[in-house]
Amino acid sequence: MFELVPTTVPQARAIGSDQQHLKLQLGDGTNTIDAIGFSMGTALPAIQASPTDVTLVGELSENTWNGQTKPQIMVKDIAVTGTQVIDARTQHLSAHLFQAPGVYLFFHQRLLKKVEQYLGSQAQAVWVGDTKMDLTAVTANQAVFIVDCPDTLADMTQVLSTIALDQLTLYLYRQESVYLTGMPNRAQFAKLFQFTAAHHDVDIHHQLTLVAKHLHIERNLLIFMIQVFFEVGFVKINDGVMNGVSNPAKADLHHAPSYQLREQQIVAEETLLYSKSAALQVWVKNQAAVKN
């Protein structure tokens, strides 16, 4: 019997009628060998979450299948070390996601207030922006859940560099994807500029949907564009009524705070929401405080 620390576990699956056994492929970057562990199926999620942090004890055996005999490791014990990063990304939040004991981190306070009714008796909700909350008080033996997608990668890195982690579950919920919508193009901004010059006293609280249809611009994208125009002084908005500014000073839209934030949101979503699971886990583990 010997201890084996593979470089990675490229394949892991549960087998058996009740999925109670483990079938693994262990690798060192060049070669692979099969392994099987009986009554170890419950370890599958942890192995899949941290395939480079697996240590096992076993003995060498043989497996014959269809007349071919191959070496195989009979696993006697298995452990996953370091931080376990569990990819549980979701587009829907429901009560069952908040029942496990642990700390649930929210980047957006509005979302926290919306779902706090779901929190189980041993679930602690924390808004990352709460200056009264000391994230260093989160201990490594507490399960941590990141509920929503941050607006910037810097926000995510700040959290990961502050808290101690043994197990991190990522929901990374985002109600509407900025990445998929993208940035408005020059023609769309020009169309809005022409509209604001030609139309006065536009009630954007009640007429926004009509304006969006008229301009053939998606409603939420139009909201963003109007905010950019407001920030650079192209429009004025009083009590929800928008008017274009006559002969506004030239301005670079890229310098508007909302424009710069949206650029960061797109990068954050690309990295955190639309990356493959393995790449996401590597990114998270490479952040300063995720100690393996």
Q: Inform me whether the pLDDT recorded for 287 exceeds 80.
A: no
Q: Inform me whether the pLDDT recorded for 138 exceeds 90.
A: no
In a domain, 273, yes or no: no
pLDDT tens profile 1-59: 899 899 889 999 999 999 999 999 999 888 999 999 999 998 888 888 778 889 999 99
**Torsion sign across C-alpha atoms 89, 95, 97, 103:** positive
Write the CATH number for 57: 2.40.50.140
- CB proximity list for 174: less than 8 A, separation 6 or greater: 91, 148, 149, 269, 273
pLDDT tens profile 216-268: 999 999 999 999 999 999 999 999 999 999 999 999 999 999 999 999 999 99
Query: In 3D, which of 168, 28, 146 has the Cα closest to residue 90?
Result: 146
Tell me, yes or no, whether 74 and 148 share the same domain: no
In a domain, 44, yes or no: yes
In a domain, 290, yes or no: no
Task: Say which residue the tokens 């696993």 belong to.
Answer: 75
pLDDT tens profile 172-223: 999 999 999 999 999 999 999 999 999 999 999 999 999 999 999 999 999 9
In a domain, 126, yes or no: yes
Please give the full DSSP string across 92-158, using - where no structure is assigned. Answer: ---GGGG-SSEEEEES-HHHHHHHGGG--TTEEEEETT-TT--GGGS-TTS-EEEEE--SSHHHHHH
Give residue 292's pLDDT: 43
In a domain, 24, yes or no: yes
**pLDDT tier for residue 164 given thresholds of 50, 70 and 90:** confident
Mean pLDDT calculated for residue range 89-109: 96
Domain boundary among 81, 114, 136: 81
Tell me, yes or no, whether 42 and 120 share the same domain: no
The residue range of the domain holding 123 is: 85-174+281-285
Query: In 3D, which of 111, 163, 175, 107 has the Cα closest to residue 139?
Result: 163
Give residue 49's pLDDT: 75
Q: Is the pTM of this model over 0.85?
A: no
Domain boundary among 48, 64, 81: 81
Tell me, yes or no, whether 91 and 157 share the same domain: yes
In a domain, 37, yes or no: yes
pLDDT tens profile 271-286: 999 998 878 887 888 7
Mean pLDDT calculated for residue range 119-145: 90
Q: Calculate the dihedral angle through the C-alpha atoms of 223, 224, 227, 231, rounding to the nearest 10 degrees.
A: -170
Q: Calculate the dihedral angle through the C-alpha atoms of 83, 140, 108, 260, rounding to the nearest 10 degrees.
A: -50
Write the CATH number for 216: 1.10.10
